[in-house]
Structure 1
């Protein structure tokens, strides 16, 4: 009898072990790419057809293990050029989540607060006015096609106090030179913000511009995160370059994410497809600020928190893995778990059918699965020259898509959706 019980116990234990191994194997298979050639084909198509000068894609699991990578380069546009995970790229708005993370770290340390008035740190902004139409209507009431009808503008006092949280949520009222309101865009272009010699001069130039809305009114994408970086600098007495090094890249052991291009490195050319032909861009064609763009030079101490960083795909993947690991990387805790959870919590654009916005991190909705482009719950971000990232908290991996192109001709903008669609189709099939 005792021997029978013993045999039963051993058999039961073996079954449990086998089930456990089977479950672990299923999880492993879910992260494997079953048809990398299919993914390669998607990427090659968008380069071969002249939509992009190059595309480099990198997928890493939460531990930094490489799941997939592929590089495709248009040799006619970039002869003798190879692009890989260590190639330096202008990442533009992918800088924003880095700056927001630095600000949240300062808030954790009690140096700043979310509800602090921006004027506490930048008194030059205490009396910023708001642009409205001659009829007194809010500019954001005008549809894209008739925004020229809002001009000329008149200025009225801001009826609320601009806060740090407004900057994080793009509700403060700052904007780019691409609003579609000619009378506003021309004002930004005239200031030519990236040519300011330093942060103090940038503040002076910004103080001459009106806001596009009363602070806290609504979501309006713009240079709010750049102003957030200026607040962080004033709050600490350190420039944003120092803050990123001291608080992010050095303790987290991230290489490949910074404000200045390393010595002996060169950035890839700027390209545009605005004429339906992919070509090198002329000065002023990347017109988000007007005539000029950030220069990334060591002797220019201006650090644009919303647009000014450069990165490698490998380095930026490390930063996203820190978020995916809820604030920790390489044994160092940068942000508290609750803080990271707040980054991807619901904050703005809550009535959007495609998802919602966290702290400048887009969280996809069910529509993405319906359209076979991915699935709900992905954390997504991107930049002005077609850089892109996402994190999958369900499967614990990150994806980086790097290129350098502005105004991709149709249907080239489908790249990210097509690649994600092919990837997740493979993942769903393997998981089923």
Structure 2
């Protein structure tokens, strides 16, 4: 185990723990009320063909399952069992894992948050920025204005890209879904998920322009993928090895990793893009262009922003680590102050719906007003409708797993409807308990 704090602190902590052991208060078990009502919410979205399946799971701070339910479309997935141990493509739910690894490296002095990215990836030192022919920054255009912007020209990046820019999605990287056809086609041509390894990926990305000057604004994209590459270059280790050595191994998390375990098979890819739920064809999940990560154990490429697979049980363990402020199963992974920084305001601070921490959305008062939850929830999700949240007030985590891209309306209301039904019952029970005191 790595020692991060001095022996005196350990001694003092040990003494305090002994003195306070008998005084420690147990956290009351969360009461959620009528589970049938929650089941019906999930069942509806599967029965109406919005999703091929939905699995939801709630765990308390100690990992006890408070609630779980699985709804499966038997026509699309016959003879299929889906539960907390089913392996799922989690896409952008990989990002917070990669960010946590990098923050751990920063704690250990291996990286600094304001280090230039070019210190580790010199191939990116001279990346250009795409602008319109009149010199306008592309991120300033509204969606309906984008089709007339191409062709674009390339100019010099006017700032130094840093590790912090990558963490905050301010570096200028993007997906093949910007709406600028001349930009999207460039990234699609590189077919990034099919790079043979990290060096090949870096070479491919070095041929692409940025969509904005680094540090300009928040723009969601492959910034965390590059962050994973920085971690690899800084340590000389592959990202999967860093996750195993620093996260899942010492905290005894099973069900969160790169590459699919042997003898396991992933669920099919589905889409509702033409208003009919069906299996997706190649290229319809177009976040990178023609292809998506293959999760092949022989493919030595680890995408820090998109490439992990997980079970609901395993991912809940990781989120519980955040709720426990950096510690799980008697192992301290991150210092408490580091985790507090993860859920502190960093970007999108003027949003009426909350703010963004380090790729962790913190809900605002609007969620309570809309009866979908309440302020202060930590929220994240992935490209194929995976979703999680943590409630730091009641110390529980929620996981909702599915695999679908482009859900037809109003299918995207699933998470809000389920969370709203859950909190409606929680609030009623808490109000009744308060009256009976």
What TM bracket, shorter-length normalisation? over 0.9
* Equivalence for 2:22: none
Could you say which residue in structure 2 is the equivalent of 1:63?
A: 62
How well do the aligned residues superpose, as a CA RMSD in angstroms? 0.9
Partners of 1:115 and 1:150 lie apart in 2 by 33
**Are 1:398 and 2:397 counterparts?**
yes
State the shift of 1:28 in Å. Answer: 3.3
Moved more, 92-101 or 136-145: 136-145
Q: Which segments of structure 1 move beyond 4 Å, counting only runs of 4 or more?
A: none
Match of 2:28 in 1: 28
Distance 1:145 1:400 in 2: 35
Give 1:239 deviation, angstroms.
Answer: 0.4
Aligned to 1:428: 427
Partner of 1:287: 286
Q: Could you tell me which residue of structure 2 aligns to residue 208 of structure 1?
A: 207
What SS is found at the alignment partner of 2:250? helix
Distance, in Å, in 1 between the alignment partners of 2:28 and 2:49 is 36
Task: Give the 5 Å matches for 1:30-429.
Answer: 31-429=30-428
Give distance in 2, aligned partners of 1:417 and 1:195.
Answer: 35
How far the C-alpha of 1:402 sits from its partner, in A, is 0.1
CA distance in 1, matches of 2:139, 2:296: 36
SS at structure 2 position matched to 1:251: coil
Distance across 2 between alignment mates of 1:127 and 1:313: 41
The TM-score normalised by the length of structure 2 is 0.92
Q: Distance between the aligned counterparts of 1:63 and 1:145, measured in 2?
A: 48
Deviations 1:112-171 (A, max 9, x none): 000000000000000000000001100011101111122110000000000000000000
User: Residue 9 of structure 1 corresponds to which residue in structure 2?
Assistant: none
Deviations along 1:251-286, one digit per CA (max 9) or x if unpaired, are: 000000000111110000000000101000000000
- The alignment's TM-score, normalised by the length of structure 1, stands at 0.93
Residue 85 (structure 1) shift: 0.1
Counterpart Cα distance in 2 of 1:83 and 1:386: 15
Task: Please identify the structure whose Cα radius of gyration is greater.
Answer: 1
Shift in Å at residue 33 of structure 1?
A: 1.8
Q: What secondary structure is seen at the aligned counterpart in 1 of 2:134?
A: coil
Cα deviations by residue, 1:155-210 (Å, 9 ceiling, x for unpaired): 00000000000000000000000011111000000000000000000000000000
Q: Distance in 2 between matches of 1:163 and 1:28?
A: 43
* Separation in 1, partners of 2:421, 2:401: 18
Identify which range, 278-287 or 144-153, moves more after superposition.
144-153
Q: Cα offset for 1:290?
A: 0.2
